[in-house]
Amino acid sequence: MFRESSLSLLDLPLVPSDSAHDLPPDTASQASALAHAMAALSPPERLALLRRELPGRLVFTHGFGIEGQLLFHWICTQDLDIDVVTIDTGRLFPETYELWSATEARYGRRIRAIYPDGAALERLVARDGAYGFYESVEARHACCDVRKVKPLDQALAGARAWLTGVRADQTGTRHAASLADVDASRDLIKVNPLLDWTRARVLAEVAAHDVPINALHARGFASIGCEPCTRAIKPGEPERNGRWWWEANGSRECGLHLPRRAG
C-alpha cells in the first residue's frame, strides 16, 4: 500500500514555464507546481496527486511497453479515474495484442483503442506503398503521422493532462523532459511519472508485482512498436536501437513525444 501525500498544489510556488508563453498563465503555473510537487513522491503517489489536484479528463496513452504496464498497474490498484487509451496502428505484433487481452483480464478494466483515419491511411498507402516507410525518413514520418500522431491528437482532444511512460534515460531527446510540462500545441499538461526511474528499477518493480509484460522482451526486444519497424537488439545496445534501425543517426522517435509538426 502506498502512502497518500499530503502535498497540495496550493502549497507550492507557481513559476511560469518558458515553453508555455502562448498559453494561459494558469496552465504553465500548474505544470510547474506539479513538477515541483512530484519530485519528492514515488510514481504511484504522483499519479494519485495528479488525479486529486487536476480537475477534468486525464489521459494515459498506453503502448504496452514495460513502463506503461507498470503505470497501468498503479492506476488500477489505486482505482484512479484516468482515461486509459491505446493507439492501434494496425501494424502491431501478435504478442502485443495478446498482452492487451491478458492485461484487461488481469485488471478487469478495458483499455480504449483509438485507430487511424481510414481515408488518410488509404491515401498514404496509395502514395507510398505498404512499406514505403523504409524508403525515406520523410515517408516514415508520414506513416507515423497517420498511424500514431493524428490518432494521438484525437485521443487527447479536450484532455486536461496527458500521462506517458517516458523515462529520461531512454534517448537523448527524452533526457530534457520534465516530470510535468506544457504541451503548447495541444494546450494541456504533459506528465511523465516515471521520468527519473531507470529501466532496471522499472523491471524490478514489475517483477515484484508480477505485472504482465510482452513475451517479446524475453527474445531481445527492448522497445516494442509496430512490427515492421521493430527488431531485437544485442546486449549492451541502447534500448531504442531496435526502432527504425535502418535510419542512420535517427532520433528513434515516431513524433508522439516531439514538438508537433505544422500541417
Question: Which tens digit of pLDDT belongs to each residue from 161-170?
Answer: 999 999 988 7
Over range 247-255, report the average pLDDT.
58
Q: What is the CA radius of gyration of the chain?
A: 18
Distance of CA 1 to the CA centre of its chain: 25
CA distance 144 to 125: 12
Is 76 among the annotated ligand-binding positions? Answer: no
- Structural domains of the chain, ranges and CATH numbers in brackets: 23-119+156-214 (3.40.50.620)
Of 28, 75, 99, 254, the active-site residue reads: 254
Distance, CA of 14 to CA of 28 (rounded, Å): 8
User: Which residue, 88, 58, 68, 26, is CA-closest to 164?
Assistant: 68
User: Quick check: 149 and 260 in contact, CB under 8 A?
Assistant: yes
Find the mean pLDDT for residues 221-244: 92
Question: Scanning the structure block, which residue is given the C-alpha cell 520534465?
Answer: 178
- pLDDT for 203 beyond 80: yes
254 as an active site residue: the answer is yes
pTM for the model stands at 0.84
Helix axes 199-208, 66-77, angle to 10 degrees: 50
Q: What is the mean pLDDT of the chain?
A: 86
Q: Tell me 181's DSSP state.
A: E
> Which of 55-69, 175-189, 246-260 shows the highest mean pLDDT?
55-69
The C-alpha angle 155, 159, 163, rounded to 5 degrees, equals: 75
Asked if residue 147 lies in contact with residue 117, where contact means CB atoms within 8 angstroms, the answer is no
